[in-house]
Amino acid sequence: MSTIIGAKRTFTYFKTAVRFSMFALILCLAINVDGEESAHQVNDESSLRSFMRGIVSDPHNALESWKSPGVHVCNWSGIRCNNASDRVIEIDLSGKSLAGTISPAISNLSSLRILDLSQNSFVGHIPKELGFLTQLGQLSLSWNFLQGKIPPELGSLHNLYYLDMESNQLEGEIPSSLFCNGSHSLRYIDLSNNSLEGEIPLSNQCMLQELRFLLLWSNHLVGQVPLALANSTKLKWLDLESNTLSGELPYEIALKWPQLQFLYLSYNDFVSHDGNTNLDPFFASLKNLSNLQELELAGNHFGGKLTHTIGDLPVSLVQLHLDDNLIYGSIPPHIANLVNLTLLNFSSNLLNGSIPPSLCKMGNLERIYLSNNSLSGEIPSALGDIQHLGLLDLSRNKLSGSIPDSFANLPQLRRLLLYENQLSGTIPPSLGKCDNLEILDLSHNRISGVIPTEVAALTSLKLYLNLSSNDLNGPLPLELSKMDMVLAIDLSNNNLSGRIPPQLESCIALEYLNLSGNSLEGPLPFSLGQLPYIKALDVSSNGLTGEIPESLQLSSTLKKFNFSFNKFSGNVSNKGAFSSLDINSFLGNDALCGSIKGMSSCHKKHTYHLILLLIPVLLFATPLVCMFGYRLGHKAKIQRRLAIVSRNDFDDDEEETKELMYPRISYRQLIEATGGFSASSLIGSGRFGHVYKGVLRDNTRIAVKVLDATTASEISGSFRREFQILKRTRHRNLIRIITICSKPEFKALVLPLMPNGSLERHLYPSHGLSQRLDLVQIVRICSDVAEGMAYLHHYSPVRVVHCDLKPSNILLDDDMTALVTDFGISRLVKGDESMSSSNSSASLSSTHGLLCGSVGYIAPEYGMGKQASSHGDVYSFGVLVLEIVTGRPPTDVLVHEGSSLHEWVKRQYPYKLDNVVQQALQRLSPSSSSSSSSSSSRSRKYDDKCDHKMWEDVILELIEMGLLCTQHNPMTRPSMLDVAQEMGRLKDYLCNSSFGDEALNYSIKLGDSFSSEDNLVQK
């Protein structure tokens, strides 16, 4: 028994020992695992700190938590960890304005799945060590300043499904390993807007079967579209635009893309089949792509005849661009099968024959471009049945016959361009029913008869009326004076007769007036010189008589004149607006004399006897004249300008006084401060009133915006709206209000006077009144404006859509800080609404009947009847940036180029911008600009660090920013918050001395953005 008991004890001891040994082993393993995890965590933190040491600029303190002691790495901003292991799996620092280099140490984050450093200011090369991140699924380095080649080592990322390196300075060939790495997971590839060259590296060994998006636009790629791309049967978006790709249009490949939605092959060197003569195979290959929405093939110069196969394209097609090619033949009636088409562009080809009436079956058409072809015959009256048609461009063809009356049935028609044809007959009076018409150009035809009063009274015209070079006769209709929003009127080279009506002064938005080459007679109206925005006036080759009105010489806006070949007489001074003129503006007027260069001098008359006789009379009459003249004349002036019926002091409304804690400034004080609202105090005029400068008794310099009482009933809501906005908004880049004066008879906003005036004054200095800005100042001003607008859209207690952003509404203070002003036609948006939502245009107060913006800055969707939205402000900002860089006002481009500033610049982008960039360099470089002392010092500091190439790059970036903001589709424009971030990034870069020798070149995609796919682009 004792033996048995001893054996049991021995066995028990043995089991206990075994259990203890197992526990010790497990404990050791646990300690080892914990130690390994701890080591990994330490390694992750060490790698991130090495990455942080490469950051030399963090203007928004995005990495503040990285520097705080005791904060766990998983709680650092932009960092996400695996919950189980606390390993770093995501770095998202997009849009933080970080500047520096990307440290190779980031490759030690072996569990990293997402790396997003987009929209920053990183420079240098892409570290090849990123190829060690074998778990990486998303890599986004877009919108930086990265240079050099794409590392072939990135081909080792077998789990990569999202790759975005758009808009950098990358060069060299695309490494084949990137596409052919044995991985089939790549779904999204964007290498666009770089300087990549060589062929697209796809071969039959590469099977990118999961690829949905391939974006390679705006590079220097050559060769053909690789046949291996046919393996990507899930492709939805292919954008190869603006390269130098060649070969036949890829019809064999397109057959394999049943899910394709967007195909962009424009501006390459593609040809059609059978020696560039046959388009049918390519069109046939697309007919079964039931999801295809947009097809862009413009600017390839391929030939071929349009046949009925074009009608076999997918009925889902919304936009078709075949412009700027060598397509010949007539337009097949079968094209009417594309019933969902909203845009049809066949311009600048070799098309002939007549326009098929079957186009009227395409009821969704909004824009038709058939210009610059050889189309003949009459314009089909059936076009008047396309109810959604907003633009019809049939210019530069051989069309004959008369203009159809049926155009009066087009309620959405905004632009009708029929110039340079062989049209005859008269102008249909029914065109006056086109209530939304903004442009009417019938020039260079054979149209006769008088200008119908119904057409002359088209108050909707906002851009221009061009009836020049026809056979029109009769007088100028008085109804022309109703065009109070038209920008330009050209009636030159007709047979018009009679006098120029003084009532044209009612065309208060008019900038260009050309009446030359007619038979007009009588005097030139004094009122023409009082047009507030007039820039160019041509009345040459008429029979006008009398003296040239002094008002033209006193105009502060007129820059171009032509008075030649008339019968003018009298003395002409070389002062004021005439100071830059020579005899070429006055040829053929033998009775003119004066001090203009090349003009004969006037004979002086002895008038001192008359003066001696008048002296006693004047001395005796002076007190009476001063007393009664001042009382009556001054009162009449005030009544005329302000419609004041009482001279008592007016204070603010009681309700507004309660709301505001601002100083109470009486009407009498405003009278005293502005010298009775005298002409010498006038600093600006507009459709709704005048702005006067003044000084209060305490030496406060003020600007008084006085509402024109003659239109008070129309714009009283505008005044109230501006007050409501200014009262609630507070931002360093928005004008602040001092107080208001508001009564039924008089309304005025009192604002601080900005000593450096408006941006417009600096962009277009006249008579030495202002000095030009340099590039550093321009970038700072654009950044200021973007910040102010972002506040209005996203942070203001009352969300605001400005609706009228332009240079004259941007003021500059002592330090040249920009402030956005003039909210008279703004929309107030409910504070709890998201500006990015579809309801972002919901307004609290109506501006019905008012032009939503200024000509040239108005977003195209407004012209199609859309409500005002934040997207429209972004468009206006883009126009502003393009205007600053090109030095051309958008209205000037509209008149002389017949297109928007966006379209004019984009036609030259990216390979024809040299002239624009060089002219900008001359205007904006410090050596050609005179600025304030503080600004000059900044410019010199910058110039010391930056070479010529850097200046060019900065200008290119501004152009690309402007083009991005002015995209036709409002949904593809960035938000104002994004714009402010980008402009701030560029400003910070310019001010960062650490990168003075680095070349700038972040680029922004032109064209449309894409929809999210499988959560790939939901960033």
**Residues paired with residue 522 on neighbouring β-strands, in sequence order:** 544
Structure tokens at 712: 């008070």
In angstroms, the CA 967 to CA 743 distance is 43
Interatomic CA distance for residues 480 and 486, integer angstroms: 10
**Rounded CA separation 760/757 (Å):** 8
Rounded Cα gap, residues 523 and 514, in angstroms? 16
Type and span of the H or E element at 1017: none
Smallest CA-to-CA distance from 140 within 180, 93, 178 is with: 93
Instruction: Check the annotation: does 597 bind a ligand.
Output: no
Residue 522 token pair? 């009588």
Q: Identify the H or E element spanning 221.
A: strand 220-221
CA atoms of 625 and 634, how far apart (whole Å)? 12
Which residues is 238 bridged to in the sheet? 214, 263
SS (H, E, C) 126-165: CCHHHHHCCCCCEEECCCCCCEECCCHHHHHCCCCCEEEC
Exactly one of 784, 804, 822, 873 is catalytic; name it.
804
- In 348-458, at which residue ranges do the beta strands (DSSP E only) sit? 350-351, 367-369, 376-378, 391-393, 398-400, 415-417, 439-441, 448-449
Alpha helices in 491-629 (DSSP H): 550-554, 608-624
Q: Annotated catalytic, 804?
A: yes
Question: Which of 245, 207, 239, 243 shows the shortest CA–CA distance to 225?
Answer: 245
Residue 543: how many other CB atoms lie within 10 Å:
13
Give the distance from CA 84 to its chain's centroid.
Answer: 48
Asked if residue 674 lies in contact with residue 753, where contact means CB atoms within 8 angstroms, the answer is no
β-strands 464-466, 512-514: how paired? Answer: unpaired
**Structure tokens belonging to residue 927:** 């050596």
Tell me whether residue 277 is exposed, middle or buried, using C-beta atoms within 10 angstroms of its C-beta: 0 to 12, 13 to 18, 19 or more.
middle
Cβ atoms of 651 and 718 closer than 8 Å:
no
Q: Are 715 and 850 in contact (CB under 8 A)?
A: yes
Q: Read off the tokens for 392.
A: 């019809």
Which is nearest to 97 in space by CA: 1003, 1019, 987? 987
**Can you tell me the distance from the alpha carbon of 541 to that of 951, in angstroms, rounded to the nearest whole number?**
46
Q: Are 265 and 297 in contact (CB under 8 A)?
A: yes
What is the rounded CA–CA span in Å between residue 294 and residue 272?
A: 19
Q: Are 300 and 270 in contact (CB under 8 A)?
A: yes
CA distances from 498 to 488, 523, 586 (A): 21, 11, 21
* Cα distance between residue 126 and residue 154, in whole Å: 10
List residues bridging with 449 in a β-sheet. Answer: 472
Contact 251, 302 (CB under 8 A): no
Q: Distance (Å, rounded) from C-alpha 805 to C-alpha 55?
A: 36
Residue 714 has a CB neighbour count (10 Å cut-off) of: 13
- Binding residue numbers: 705
Q: Which residues are catalytic?
A: 804
Binding residues for ATP are: 705
